């Protein structure tokens, strides 16, 4: 860390105006080919505040921040840091200007230690030892100051995502960042970890740091920010004081119309048991025990929500029930056993039994991205008699017509059956998968991360479809890492941790805090961690 006062563009130089914004952008525009990702953006971020930026996927938030961090060069516009006009041609320049960035997907070297990751790119000299020793000292100091405890010698691949995120923040602080940009920081965190993160951000703010928080979660914006800017279709539509706005107003600014934030649903009317899982166990190829004695039931006309931090067995549960993976134990559908060994069953035989599956990773398992919408809408059911013209040929014309009708019913935009799956937005891709699975009228719908990467407007629609299916008397098993979604959709909630069901709760009798503890493996009575 060289003498900071010699560094141009830093806060230590007397600013022309004592209250100059930490960041001021004027007229920033950026186009990728025909797509105008940012259009004439202007924003002022005051020092020592937490400034939220909210907007739908593709609204241009990430592009704007990438310009600020020197990843892209703006076509037009000016950047002022602490009142000084600053050029940011690359990340090095951004770091020099005191900007630190915590990316949504961490930029860490997995098999390096925490210390090595912190030092990388900010070494003192040609030899490593002195840099590492110095970083170790500074890390201890930062840990004390900001509750950022991390073992400096742990390998990144051995520590959890919450810790990894702390390493990213430490990296920025080690580079003496005064302005910290966090891109969707809570997507991978448990509620407790997210709370801890927000405490850290408050500490940083108290020390005079400026924080930009990019998120799509309205609740976080309301909880931690001082000011919030809303982006829509590449434009900055509004900047308001958080205290003077409401989630409803923000949602409307984001989408451009009124949005129903709470799911509108009547109480469930559960009927017969459709799915009965008893003592289900799954061991993966590496010999790791992924599901441990999982037992649950789903009745007709109800939604069972599975809450949990990603990677605690939810994916394996969906895979086994969907016929993709195999396991041991008993699973009955409408009172009849299902083969779990994988020898007499697969995804197709599950579908034949009336189990529809909307997989968690729709781009890898739900769709073939290079295939058109009408092809994707037949997948899995392509052997069905209704799609055959004769013994040899499929009835493509009828299929296309049917696809067009389904696209209309599920509001897929653009409603063009010949368009490749990859050319639809995340929300529209999900609607294609949903149209395929729901319209086959299944008894049981397995649905994983239904709204991951989906815009608010489409979330509303997808939630309505799920509830409508429930009201038709179908059983639904919902897996989601979004606690909001679980809380608002489920009729019952089961929490998974480390391959086990930690407990079942009714949404009316629990809250996010209690569920968060269960998600972290703490059952009531054993006390906190």
Which of 107, 289, 382, 513: binder of other proteins (CB under 8 A)?
107
Residues 79, 81, 87, 91, CA torsion sign: negative
Running DSSP on this structure, what letter comes out for residue 6?
G
95 part of the interface to other proteins, by CB under 8 A: yes
Q: Which is nearer to other proteins, 99 or 333 (CB)?
A: 99
Q: Using CA atoms, how far apart are residues 261 and 525, in angstroms rounded to an integer? A: 34
Q: How many CB atoms lie within 10 A of CB 7?
A: 15
199 part of the interface to other proteins, by CB under 8 A: no
Residues 315-325 as b/e (b if ≥16 CB within 10 A, e otherwise) read bbbbbbbbbbb
Residues 240-277 as b/e (b if ≥16 CB within 10 A, e otherwise) read eebeebeeeebbbbbbeeebebebebeebebeeebbbb
Q: Which is nearer to other proteins, 120 or 273 (CB)?
A: 120
Q: Which is nearer to other proteins, 165 or 312 (CB)?
A: 165
Choices 107-115, 134-142, 349-357, 494-502 (CB under 8 A): range interacting with other proteins: 107-115
Which of 116, 193, 455, 460: binder of other proteins (CB under 8 A)?
116
Which of 41, 50, 108, 296: binder of other proteins (CB under 8 A)?
108
Which of 50, 68, 103, 318: binder of other proteins (CB under 8 A)?
103
Q: Are 180 and 204 in contact (CB under 8 A)?
A: yes
Q: Which is nearer to other proteins, 285 or 336 (CB)?
A: 285
Choices 84-92, 147-155, 344-352, 357-365 (CB under 8 A): range interacting with other proteins: 84-92
Which of 8, 35, 73, 92: binder of other proteins (CB under 8 A)?
92
Minimum distance of other proteins from residue 205's CB (angstroms)? 23
Which of 35, 128, 288, 337: binder of other proteins (CB under 8 A)?
128
Give the H/E segment covering residue 314.
helix 314-321
Q: Are 168 and 108 in contact (CB under 8 A)?
A: yes
Q: Which is nearer to other proteins, 66 or 449 (CB)?
A: 66
Which of 91, 237, 334, 388: binder of other proteins (CB under 8 A)?
91
Minimum distance of other proteins from residue 13's CB (angstroms)? 21
Give the H/E segment covering residue 204.
helix 191-206
364 part of the interface to other proteins, by CB under 8 A: no
113 Cβ contact partners less than 8 Å away, ≥ 6 residues apart = 152, 153, 154, 155, 156
Q: Are 485 and 87 in contact (CB under 8 A)?
A: no
Q: Phi and psi dihedrals of 507, rounded to 5?
A: -55, -30
374 part of the interface to other proteins, by CB under 8 A: no
Minimum distance of other proteins from residue 105's CB (angstroms)? 8
Per-residue binder mask for other proteins (CB under 8 A), 275-314, x = binder: ----------------------------------------
Nearest to 308, CA basis, from 71, 96, 90, 494: 494
372 part of the interface to other proteins, by CB under 8 A: no
Q: Using CA atoms, how far apart are residues 280 and 292, in angstroms rounded to an integer? A: 7
Minimum distance of other proteins from residue 2's CB (angstroms)? 14
Q: How many CB atoms lie within 10 A of CB 88?
A: 23
Q: Which is nearer to other proteins, 119 or 493 (CB)?
A: 119
Q: Which is nearer to other proteins, 15 or 93 (CB)?
A: 93
Choices 4-12, 86-94, 348-356, 499-507 (CB under 8 A): range interacting with other proteins: 86-94
Beta bridge mates, 297: 276
125 part of the interface to other proteins, by CB under 8 A: yes
DSSP assignment string, 214-282: EES-HHHHHHH-SEEEEEETTEEEEEEEGGG--HHHHHHHHHSS----S---PPP---SEEEEEEEEEE
94 part of the interface to other proteins, by CB under 8 A: yes
Choices 126-134, 213-221, 360-368, 438-446 (CB under 8 A): range interacting with other proteins: 126-134
Nearest to 308, CA basis, from 459, 501, 58: 501
Q: Using CA atoms, how far apart are residues 60 and 66, in angstroms rounded to an integer? A: 10
Q: Using CA atoms, how far apart are residues 447 and 433, in angstroms rounded to an integer? A: 10
Per-residue binder mask for other proteins (CB under 8 A), 171-190, x = binder: x-------------------
Residues 136-175 that bind other proteins (CB under 8 A): 171
Q: Which is nearer to other proteins, 120 or 261 (CB)?
A: 120
Nearest to 140, CA basis, from 126, 129, 127, 150: 150
Q: Using CA atoms, how far apart are residues 455 and 457, in angstroms rounded to an integer? A: 5
78 Cβ contact partners less than 8 Å away, ≥ 6 residues apart = 25, 26, 27, 28, 85
Which of 87, 90, 145, 361: binder of other proteins (CB under 8 A)?
90
Q: How is residue 281 written in tokens?
A: 């166990």
122 part of the interface to other proteins, by CB under 8 A: yes
Residues 402-461 that bind other proteins (CB under 8 A): none
Q: Using CA atoms, how far apart are residues 324 and 317, in angstroms rounded to an integer? A: 10
Minimum distance of other proteins from residue 57's CB (angstroms)? 11
Residues 42-71 that bind other proteins (CB under 8 A): 62-63, 66, 69, 71
Kindly state the number of chain residues that form the binding site for other proteins, as judged by CB under 8 A: 34
Choices 105-113, 135-143, 232-240, 327-335 (CB under 8 A): range interacting with other proteins: 105-113
- List interacting residues with other proteins (CB under 8 A): 62-63, 66, 69, 71-72, 90-92, 94-95, 101, 103, 105, 107-112, 116-117, 119-123, 125-129, 131, 171
């Amino acid at each position: 860390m060289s003498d900071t006062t010699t560094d141009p563009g830093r806060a230590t130089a007397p600013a022309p105006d004592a209250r100059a914004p930490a960041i001021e952008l004027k007229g920033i525009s950026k186009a990728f080919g025909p797509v105008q990702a940012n259009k004439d953006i202007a924003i002022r971020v005051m020092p020592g505040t937490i400034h939220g930026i909210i907007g739908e996927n593709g609204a241009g938030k990430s592009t704007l921040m990438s310009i600020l961090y020197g990843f892209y060069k703006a076509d037009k516009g000016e950047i002022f840091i602490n009142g000084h006009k600053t050029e940011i041609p690359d990340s090095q320049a951004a770091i020099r200007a005191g900007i630190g960035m915590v990316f949504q997907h961490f930029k860490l070297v997995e098999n390096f230690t925490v210390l090595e990751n912190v030092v990388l790119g900010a070494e003192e000299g040609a030899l490593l030892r002195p840099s590492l020793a110095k970083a170790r000292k500074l890390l201890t100091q930062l840990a004390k100051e900001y509750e950022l405890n991390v073992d400096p010698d742990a390998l990144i691949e051995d520590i959890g995502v919450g810790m990894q995120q702390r390493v990213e923040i430490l990296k920025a602080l080690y580079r003496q960042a005064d302005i910290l940009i966090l891109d969707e920081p809570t997507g991978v965190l448990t509620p407790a970890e997210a709370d801890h993160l927000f405490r850290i951000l408050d500490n940083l703010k108290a020390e005079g740091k400026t924080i930009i928080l990019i998120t799509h979660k309205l609740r976080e914006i309301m909880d931690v920010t001082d000011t919030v800017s809303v982006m829509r279709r590449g434009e900055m539509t509004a900047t308001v004081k958080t205290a003077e706005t409401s989630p409803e107003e923000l949602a409307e600014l984001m989408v451009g119309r009124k949005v129903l934030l709470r799911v509108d649903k009547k109480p469930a009317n559960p009927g017969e048991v459709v799915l009965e899982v008893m003592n289900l166990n799954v061991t993966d190829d590496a010999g790791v025990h992924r599901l441990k004695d999982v037992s649950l039931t789903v009745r007709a006309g109800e939604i069972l929500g599975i809450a949990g931090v990603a990677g605690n067995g939810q994916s394996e549960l969906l895979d086994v029930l969907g016929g993709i993976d195999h396991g041991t134990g008993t699973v009955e559908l409408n009172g009849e056993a299902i083969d779990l060994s994988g020898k007499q069953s697969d995804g197709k035989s599950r579908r034949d039994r009336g189990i529809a599956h909307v997989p968690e990773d729709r781009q890898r398992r739900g769709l073939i991205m290079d295939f058109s919408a009408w092809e994707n809408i037949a997948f899995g059911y392509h052997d069905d008699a209704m799609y055959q013209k004769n013994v040899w040929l499929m009835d493509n014309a009828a299929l296309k017509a049917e696809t067009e009708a389904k696209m209309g019913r599920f509001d897929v935009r653009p409603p063009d059956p010949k368009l490749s799956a990859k050319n639809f937005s995340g929300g529209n891709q999900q609607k294609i998968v949903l149209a395929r699975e729901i319209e086959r009228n299944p008894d049981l719908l397995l649905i994983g991360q239904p709204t991951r990467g989906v815009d608010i407007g489409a979330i509303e629609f997808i939630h309505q479809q799920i509830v409508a299916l429930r009201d038709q008397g179908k059983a639904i098993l919902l897996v989601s890492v979004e606690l909001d979604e679980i809380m608002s959709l489920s009729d019952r909630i089961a929490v998974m941790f480390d391959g086990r069901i930690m407990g079942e709760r009714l949404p009316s009798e629990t809250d996010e805090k209690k569920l968060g503890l269960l998600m972290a493996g703490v059952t009531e009575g054993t006390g906190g961690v």
